[in-house]
Amino acid sequence: MIIAVDGPTASGKGTIARALAEHFGLPVLDTGLLYRAVGYQTQLNHGDPDDSADALAACDFPDTLLGDPALRYESTGGLASRVSIHPAVRKALYQRQVDFANQPGGAVLDGRDIGTVIAPHADAKLFVTASAEERTRRRHAEMLARGVAVTYDAVLANIHARDARDTGRADAPLLCADDALLLDNSDMDIGETIAAAIAFVEQKVGRPA
């Protein structure tokens, strides 16, 4: 069984993907981490993330980079969003994601284009979202808890910029697949969102867990 989980930044899609993977006993891939690794490697190479050739050269990043805590930084998310615009980068990362999705037994993948490009044949597709204000509130609280001094307005501006770039790019933009469940969790807590996601997948594949 293949489960595709797409959505904008700070929507909770990663948490939901991990919960679905645990519930259904499937491996999970956070595809954003691959784009984060390319963005961060571009910076390590002193390259320009807006330059397609520089970003493509960084697609050769070593696998050990995927464990680097710097990939989780907010600034790395911004670099990832910038390198992800280039079709050459998307092409370079394509096969790795397709192979993960199509492994025997299936998988859960989360990202922006899983249900539309990487696994259009997925058995269940979810598009997880929340209002920009609610996503900002969550991301802001999380950053303050980690000791990062940042204002709500700065986080909101950053989320608007990421949304605009991820949704507005020509190649594989962030969009809800026609056959995906739109799960807006603006007024739900994470437990309710996970329960709704599990119920949807069970109903979609026609078997209780």
3-state secondary structure (DSSP) of residue 125: strand
Check binding of 112 to ligand DC (CB under 6 A).
yes
Query: Which of 78/106 has CB closer to ligand DC?
Result: 78
Query: Which of 146/203 has CB closer to ligand DC?
Result: 146
- Cα 182 from Cα 146, distance rounded (Å): 30
Who contacts 194 (Cβ-Cβ below 8 Å, separation ≥6)? 15, 16, 19, 20
Smallest gap from residue 14 Cβ to ligand DC (A): 7
Check binding of 111 to ligand DC (CB under 6 A).
yes
Among 131, 145, 144, smallest CA distance to 188 is for 131
Helix (H) or strand (E) holding 128: strand 124-129
Check binding of 77 to ligand DC (CB under 6 A).
yes
Query: Which of 61/199 has CB closer to ligand DC?
Result: 61
Check binding of 81 to ligand DC (CB under 6 A).
yes
CA 114 to chain centre: 9
Q: Interface with ligand DC by CB under 6 A: which residues?
A: 9, 31-32, 35-36, 77, 80-81, 84, 111-113, 162, 166
